[in-house]
Amino acid sequence: MALPRLLPEQPDDSTLRSDSVLFAVYAPFGGDEVLSTYPEGSSQTLAQHPLVQGLMKVAAQGIHVAALIDRVADDTWLLEIEAGKPAEAKVTSRWKQDMAAPANLAGFLRHAHQSRPSSAIVLALEGHGAGYLPEIDRRQLTLANLTESGRFEWHLNGTTGGSPVLPGGSPLLPGGSPLLPGGSPLLPGGSMPLSTWGLGDALKAALDAGVPKLAVIHFDNCFNMSAEVLHTVAPYAEYATGYPNYNFFTAGEGYPAVFAQLAQQGTATSKELARAFAKGNERILEAKGNHPTLGCTVRLARMKDITERLDDLADALLDALRSPPPHSQARAAVVQEIGKAILKAQQYDTEAGYRLEAPDQLTDLASFADALLAHDFRAHPGVHRNAKALKDALVGIKVYGSPEEQPWVAAGTNITWDFSADALAMNIFLPDPLLRGLWDWRSPYYLDINPDPNKPRVQPHIIDFVKVTDWVDFIIEYHKESQEPVRLLPARIPQFPVFNASFDPKKYPPPPPCGRGKAAA
């Protein structure tokens, strides 16, 4: 009996590239007690975990399954299920793996492909995601390196919420801090997910070893529908599905229905399957209420054009900022108009709490381009021209967006999330949008695109995105008059909000309308 399979991307391509589908799931839950024992601490064993139970149902639909699952206080387990045979599932201990190591993901994909060499591979990345994450060599985070052998000191200022004040105080972080590319003494204490560079390196290593180009990557986590992440993985997969803001953890609850649809049809394109992941996520969360999300899908071949249009917009903004003499009234007006556009654009979370507005430091790229069109750049027509070109390049990426609703994690507040706007697509890192001198902890790494060869390489690898675009140059230019001293927000990987089956929306009256079409001020 023929198994469900994926069709070639082009309808006129008659080449049969695969005879089945292999669903590869990478689940690094080892640093999170909630995800490890979801829901509500009830899954104490691997077999009890809803993700495993969901994957059994996926296999029953005629889909091969391979999953590498790491949990708190447990081994790292390899789960392998032959299509149609969930009762014969094989579970093997892989001892305790470093799930943040690129070689680990690459090795998992090699093993999965070798076990099912004629299958198209669909990869789901579970657990934490934080958009752009730097690659950090913690071996370089020595006292001598972090202080230049005692020449600098770090101070925690209680009046700024424990934010460290950068020695040197320059708003142009790579030039003003002796830690750069050294980083921050407040790096996340727990384990981080794969870095953005590390994810790309893992996929490259897998493909170099003979793994076929992935049909779909499903970023089943938070903030990874990110321009930086998507550009990094674009050479190694056909489609990506993800969520620019928080995505409520459901432990793969939507996967059985996604693959049941594929089994019923018999065939589907990678695009159809990618969109099915987003729609499946939407169905579960919308049915419950108070779990508003934004789901997006992109053909990764489009990232080349999107990145070029972004680069053109960055150049136009740079020209607008630089054309008048420095510190002139004209420059101040340009900075003000850019700031207004950022404030109007859809923001996603980076600061503590769940309010989505500046000073959050992740901005929706399509929304920012759309907001620029509503502001006065008549003296610099290139801004509007290139903003429109970027907005057009991002059309069709949004699959769904929840209308204005209070998320259950902010129950009893006046916080609402509204993802109903058409001009939404993916997030991009835009630190310190209010020019307060308070930066996301990742900023020193993100802006350090030309590291000093005489300083320790705490960030040994830099993603291509910041090197092939002028986005970083725009950020630096925009901040030329930003406040000092420069401070870093405490380093943290955002808490992953989970699907709350026990939440009763009837207990919480709807908040008053904020009238802004986004989170209340």
Overall fold of domain 17-132+192-301 = Rossmann fold (3.40.50)
Helix, strand, coil % in the chain, rounded to nearest 5: 35, 15, 45
Per-residue pLDDT, 133: 92
Per-residue pLDDT, 13: 61
The H-or-E segment that residue 120 falls in is strand 119-126
Average pLDDT on 441-470 reads: 90
Q: Which residues contact 201 (CB under 8 A, 6 or more apart)?
A: 102, 106, 461
183 has a pLDDT exceeding 50: no
Which comes out higher in pLDDT, residue 481 or 152?
A: 481
Residue 350 contacts residue 429 (beta carbons within 8 Å): no
Question: Phi and psi at residue 457, in whole multiples of 5°?
Answer: -90, 75
Per-residue pLDDT, 175: 35
Per-residue pLDDT, 160: 45
Peptide bond into 181 cis (omega under 30): yes
pLDDT in tens, 2-11: 899 999 877 6
Per-residue pLDDT, 306: 98
pLDDT in tens, 14-70: 555 799 999 999 999 998 999 999 998 999 999 999 999 999 999 999 999 999 999
CA distance 120 to 112: 11
Q: How confident is the model at residue 493 (pLDDT cuts 50, 70, 90)?
A: confident
Hunting for tokens 């990426």 — which residue is that?
397
Strands 5-7 and 64-70, sheet pairing: unpaired
Winning range, highest mean pLDDT, from 122-131, 234-243, 348-357, 403-412: 234-243
Strands 119-126 and 155-157, sheet pairing: unpaired
Peptide bond into 39 cis (omega under 30): yes
The number of residues in the chain equals 521
Both structure tokens of 387: 């903003």
Per-residue pLDDT, 485: 65
172 has a pLDDT exceeding 50: no
CA distance 232 to 454: 27
Per-residue pLDDT, 507: 77
pLDDT in tens, 364-397: 999 999 999 999 898 899 999 999 999 999 999 9
Kindly list the distances between the CA atom of residue 308 and the CA atoms of 163, 267, 312, 321, 471, in Å, as whole numbers in the listed order. 35, 34, 6, 20, 11
Average pLDDT on 443-458 reads: 86
DSSP state of 495: P
- Give the number of other Cβ atoms within 10 Å of residue 92's Cβ: 10
CA distance 136 to 49: 31
Q: How confident is the model at residue 506 (pLDDT cuts 50, 70, 90)?
A: confident
- Give the number of other Cβ atoms within 10 Å of residue 362's Cβ: 26
Which comes out higher in pLDDT, residue 12 or 16?
A: 12
Q: How confident is the model at residue 455 (pLDDT cuts 50, 70, 90)?
A: confident
252 has a pLDDT exceeding 70: yes
**β-sheet with 438-439: strand ranges across:** 155-157, 163-165, 487-488, 438-439
170 has a pLDDT exceeding 50: no
Both structure tokens of 322: 């630089």
Hunting for tokens 């908040």 — which residue is that?
511
Q: Three-state SS across 51-117?
A: HHHHHHHHHHCCCEEEEEEECCCCCEEEEEECCCCHHHCEEEECCCCCCCCHHHHHHHHHHHHHHCC
139 has a pLDDT exceeding 50: yes
Average pLDDT on 349-359 reads: 89
Percent of the chain at pLDDT above 90?
70
Q: Three-state SS across 310-338?
A: HHHHHHHHHHHHHCCCCCCHHHHHHHHHH
Percent of the chain at pLDDT above 70?
86
Per-residue pLDDT, 453: 86
End-to-end CA distance of the chain: 58
Q: Which regions of the chain carry the CATH code 3.40.50?
A: 17-132+192-301
Both structure tokens of 26: 């990478």
pLDDT in tens, 270-310: 999 999 999 999 999 999 999 999 999 999 999 999 999 99
171 has a pLDDT exceeding 70: no
421 has a pLDDT exceeding 90: yes
Which comes out higher in pLDDT, residue 321 or 139?
A: 321
Opening angle at CA 166, ends 334 and 447, nearest 5: 50
512 has a pLDDT exceeding 70: no
Q: How confident is the model at residue 503 (pLDDT cuts 50, 70, 90)?
A: confident
Average pLDDT on 72-83 reads: 97
Per-residue pLDDT, 511: 55
- Picking from 141, 223, 218, the residue whose alpha carbon sits closest to that of residue 186 is 141
Q: Name the E strands within 195-247.
A: 214-220, 237-242
Opening angle at CA 52, ends 47 and 57, nearest 5: 120
- The whole-chain average pLDDT of the chain stands at 88
